[in-house]
Amino acid sequence: MGSGWIRWWGLSPRPRYPTPLTSISTDSCGALTDSPSPLRQRILALADQLADHGQGELAEGVLDHLVAISHITQEQSDWELVHGALADVRDGLRVFCPHRYRPKVGVVGSARAPEDSAVYQQAAHLSRQLAASGFEVITGAGAGVMEAANRGAGRDNSYGLNIHLPFEFAPNPYIDPGNKLVFFRYFFTRKHFLVQESDALVAMPGGVGTLDELFEVLTLIQTAKTVPIPVVLLAPAGDDYWQRWKRYMVKSVEERGMVSPADAQIYNRVDSVQEAVGAIRRFYRIFRCCRFLDGGRLQLLLHGAPTAEQVKVMNHMFSDVLHGGTIEPFTHRGEQGAVPGLEFPFDHRCMGRLYGLIRHINHLPLTGDPRLEHTEQPQ
């Protein structure tokens, strides 16, 4: 995210690879062998090129996996999967790494929304206001809502996650094709970058693809596989798309005990651009980011430090999110100096209630990020 917007990626410390590439043994199922092979020697030569890389140990682990796969399968379709997935990751990183610390909002919705429809016009208006508030916009690069969102944000503030489909062709013209457009081969890599690079998600009315993207984000948040971000369900006034969706979620899912009622706190349903942008801005007013630690602990970084009395109230109100222990203040010291925060043993089944805690923190009478202090947006 942008300057002052810290975001930790990943759920735990990076994995270790204690076994060097040159000493991995074989088994009857066909892992690596110690005997040299042309493929192995070429990969070892590539590993030498990564010797001075800052993440050389992880890169070596990637090469380990590739050689192991080479001994597991020689099927072309399997190797097309490996090749395509790695190419998708490469292309996604190429586009996003130079812009990683800029705040971005993912916007998903129907590719079939015509230009004169209320949802198209609302998507364009939404993105204009997001850009005016300092956010860039990520879409699927297609037509309809995606086109409207990129159009409203403008080329300088737009990213596109295109995908090869037999019935959708060129991306919309409101994305810089040289620097901010990615062509993905697979939906799973495309959705990974949507989740990884978005600091908020706005879902607008759409079909199977839109709902797939929304449920991907909700699933990853609910299972603590990604950090909490604001999720906003937006439709024009009078459009009951999300009301019908919510009724289904309550009647067919929640009432059967398949989700917790608290999970509804993960998302906000609104019908105006002002409410949507305001919900995103408020989410980051005091709350900055979080990270999951080993041992089930969670750290929240904040723009302001709560008082001892405020922390005491949190411990009382949100004792159900604690897996033993209490919420305690701490200070993170890094490149941006001393940053206040809270740390506690977190019950990972309580992501919905964690949103309630974040909402409570953002309503505290503390000095927040000055860019987010004024949440009123022009109509």
Q: Are residues 52 and 163 in the same domain?
A: no
pLDDT level of residue 372 (50, 70, 90 thresholds) = low
Handedness of CA 5, 219, 293, 319 (dihedral sign): positive
Q: Are residues 184 and 333 in the same domain?
A: no
Q: Quick check: is 16 in a domain?
A: no
Percent of the chain beyond pLDDT 70?
87
Could you read off the pLDDT of 112-158 as tens digits, one per residue? 999 999 999 999 999 999 999 999 999 999 999 999 999 999 999 99
Q: Are residues 52 and 133 in the same domain?
A: no
Q: Are residues 291 and 321 in the same domain?
A: yes
Q: Give CA separation, 187 vs 162, 163, 174, 206, 216, in Å.
A: 10, 7, 22, 17, 11
Rounded to the nearest 5 percent, the helix, strand and coil shares of the chain are: 45, 15, 40
Checking if the pLDDT of 3 tops 50, the result is: no
Retrieve residue 33's tokens.
């062998």
Place of tokens 């022009």: 378
Cα–Cα distance, 138 to 187 (Å, whole number)? 15
Q: Quick check: is 25 in a domain?
A: no
Please identify, among 255, 283, 311, the residue that sits at the C-terminal boundary of a domain.
283
Q: Quick check: is 170 in a domain?
A: yes
Q: Quick check: is 46 in a domain?
A: yes
Q: Quick check: is 22 in a domain?
A: no
**Any idea what the CATH number is for the domain that residue 196 is in?**
3.40.50.450
Q: Quick check: is 320 in a domain?
A: yes
Could you read off the pLDDT of 256-270 as tens digits, one per residue? 999 999 999 999 999
| Amino acid, single-letter form, for residue 130 | L
Q: Are residues 333 and 211 in the same domain?
A: no
Tell me which residue range forms the domain holding 322: 287-372
Q: Are residues 194 and 343 in the same domain?
A: no
Q: Give CA separation, 44 vs 23, 61, 255, in Å.
A: 12, 12, 56
Q: Quick check: is 349 in a domain?
A: yes
Q: Are residues 110 and 253 in the same domain?
A: yes
Q: Are residues 301 and 211 in the same domain?
A: no
pLDDT level of residue 12 (50, 70, 90 thresholds) = very low
Query: What global pTM score does this model have?
Result: 0.87
pLDDT level of residue 300 (50, 70, 90 thresholds) = very high
User: DSSP string spanning 164-195?
Assistant: --SS--SPPTTS-TTTSEEEES-HHHHHHHHH
The candidate with the shortest Cα–Cα distance to 107, out of 28, 67, 160, is 160
- The total of structural domains in the chain comes to 3
